[in-house]
Amino acid sequence: MDENEVEKLIAAAQEARLRAYCPYSGFAVGAALLGEDGEIYQGCNVENAAYPATNCAERTALFTAVAAGCRRFRAIAVVGGPQGQDAQEICPPCGLCRQTLAEFCEPKEFYVVLCSAQERLVLTLDELLPVRFGAEGLPQ
Ligand code: THU
């Protein structure tokens, strides 16, 4: 990924973050997922009064993309922190989101861009989820 693409993806994640629905945690997260089709799919966290029904920003972006017909991805940018403020810390994807992303990418070639006001960290999904369950673990 070149620097332009990274900047564009971060800007899209920051924009999506403004649409977070997070009245319970007050923690707003935005994600932007780059498809192999070149499209950027945005997502935000969507909370619920029944707390476990909450959807993270990363999975919102992924499900939006899959519903639009894209199933392979190159990278995701994630920005999260207290609502209404610039993100002061990076927001690493939760375990459920890491597993969900692994279904639709090549983990060694998929980049996760974590961005705060002070920091930028780029890791592969393989680094974030080195030992993972996949379809090959299922009976044929
Ligand atoms: N959240 C995300 O959207 N993505 C993450 O990777 C971590 C957590 C959301 C879920 C919930 O709405 C809020 O952040 C606090 O956990």
pLDDT tens-place values along the chain, 140 residues long: 899 999 999 999 999 999 999 999 999 999 999 999 999 999 999 999 999 999 999 999 999 999 999 999 999 999 999 999 999 999 999 999 999 999 999 999 999 999 999 999 999 999 999 999 999 999 98
Cα separations in angstroms, 58 against 17, 80, 99, 130, 140 = 11, 11, 11, 19, 30
Model pLDDT, residue 27: 98
Q: Is the CB of 56 under 6 A from ligand 1?
A: yes
Measured from the Cα of 94, ligand 1's closest atom is: 6
pLDDT reported for residue 22: 98
Per-residue pLDDT, 20: 98
Q: Which atom of ligand 1 is nearest to the CA of 56?
A: 3
54 lines ligand 1 (CB under 6 A): yes
Verify whether ligand 1 is closer than 6 Å to residue 93 (CB atom). yes
Instruction: Please tell me the pTM assigned to this model.
Output: 0.97
81 lines ligand 1 (CB under 6 A): no
Residue 97: CB partners within 8 Å, gap ≥ 6?
56, 58, 59, 62
Catalytic residues: 58
Distance 45 CA to ligand 1 centre (A): 6
Q: Which atom of ligand 1 is nearest to the CA of 97?
A: 6
Looking at residue 1, what is its pLDDT? 83
